[in-house]
Chains A and B, each alone.
Chain A
Amino acid sequence: MILAVASGKGGTGKTTVAVNLAACLPEPVRLLDCDVEEPNCHIFLKPEIHSSERFTLPFPTVDDNRCNGCGECSRICEYNAIVSLKSKPLVFPELCHGCGGCVEVCPEKAITESRREIGTIRSGTWRHVAFVEGLLDVGQTLSPPLIRAVKQHVGTGGITVIDCPPGTSCPVIAAVHKSDYVVLVSESSPFGLHDLALAVDTMRKLDLNFGVVINRAGPMDHRVADYCRKERIPILMEIPDERKAAEAYSRGLLLIESVPGFRKLFENLYRRILSESRRNPGSMQGDRRDVEGIA
């Protein structure tokens, strides 16, 4: 089973949910940190890293002697990374997504692929949790290929927890793609609700099954809970707004090990996800599910 933890808004607690959930799941469990622009699961799990490899993307190199300047490469490139002006094409590696289209269409077979490094993939373990993270190099912008490479470590059997990037654009789509269930972590604030609604729209468009975790839940602001009830989205867990939780987080500690009652919360979250994902295999479109269990 693949569980993706996403959010819409940044800073709502994706990593907190991902690491604490992974840490209390039964073996075999894998945690993939796909927030490759700033992976931070390692701060809380402190895994022992066994291997570290550089990740590369292909980009075209043109053989001047073979190129006849026909411009087919330029026409197929959606990314404007190769441009032909009746002469040898110009290549802009930083714009290339590595799709290989230009290599395929070149009638003169003048294009071969070179590779450029854009990031690192590190693997290790923490107790019973297998850990993999992607780290995009500073100055690089193309995170989806690195995210997909990290997801090659999904493995078979057991549970894989994916810590996703924030937002609702390409990196998030790459991270949640093909997951069995998505946990959307939100906070009850105007920004939290606004971005949660965007994330909900995205998950519905992708036909993914999902539920919501409300972080820093307090008695003052009910807007996210109200929204979920109205949209018939299950609220999987509410993380209470407790000073002890904030202190543990600021020290890089797991909440399930340092705040009384939190292990129970996350064990219940896992059970709730299991029952939700079984109850609704497949689509949430035209959702008519009951609202049982919503606080």
Chain B
Amino acid sequence: MKISISAQGPNPEALVDPRFGRAAQFLIYDTDTDSYEVLSNAESQDAFQGAGIKAAETISRHGARVLITGHCGPKAFSTLKAAGIEVVTGAEGLSVSQAVDKYRSGQFNAANSSDVRGHWQ
């Protein structure tokens, strides 16, 4: 199973990026192979609107089943939900590997809704 983590840097020691849509990049952790790969988020960073929607599409196309991030807005959340991706928010302050460990040990609950408001609302 693939877990996607919004990350401020390109390695597991990097901090979780609190932003989802405009995240610096994603790390994809594969539980089957216990390995990480870097997934660019450039398309969303360049988007002038709908960055969260685009980012959700990006990780979905990459086969992620879980997202660990800091915060998630309403449009991103509905896109992730439609893609069947489990969303975990509140992981800011942790490194990517710490966040993955915390998730795997069952200490994170899946989010039922977005935790921040959309723009212009």
Contacts and interface: CB of A to CB of B under 8 A. Distances in A.
| Interface of chain B: mostly helix, strand, loop or mixed | helix
A43 interface: no
B47 A90 contact: no
Contact of B53 (A87, A92, A139, A141): A92
A85 B60 contact: yes
B120 A83 contact: no
A85 B49 contact: no
A149 interface: no
Contacts of A21: none
A139 B54 contact: no
B50 A79 contact: yes
Interface centre among A87, A90, A95 (most CB of B within 10 A): A90
Interface in B53-102: 53-54, 56-57, 60, 75, 78-79, 82-83
A90 B120 contact: no
A81 B57 contact: no
Q: Report, as a range, how many residues of chain A touch the other chain.
A: 10 to 19
A81 B53 CA distance: 8
Q: Is the interface of A mostly helix, strand, loop or mixed?
A: loop
A74 B53 CA distance: 10
Given A74-B57, A139-B120, A141-B120, A80 B49 contact: yes
Nearest to A84: B57
Contacts of A90: 53, 78-79, 82
A85 B50 contact: no
B27 interface: no
Given A74-B57, A139-B120, A83 B49 contact: no
Kindly name the residue among A79, A80, A83, A84 whose own CB sees the greatest number of chain B CB atoms within 10 A: A80
B23 interface: no
B3 interface: no
Of the listed residues B53, B60, B79, the one surrounded by the most CB atoms of chain A closer than 10 A to its CB is B53
11 contacts: A79-B49, A79-B50, A80-B49, A80-B50, A80-B53, A81-B50, A83-B53, A83-B79, A84-B57, A85-B82, A141-B120
Interface of B: 47, 49-51, 53-54, 56-57, 60, 75, 78-79, 82-83, 120
Given A85-B57, A95-B50, A95-B53, 11 more contacts: A74-B57, A79-B50, A80-B54, A83-B54, A83-B79, A85-B60, A85-B83, A90-B53, A90-B82, A95-B49, A95-B75
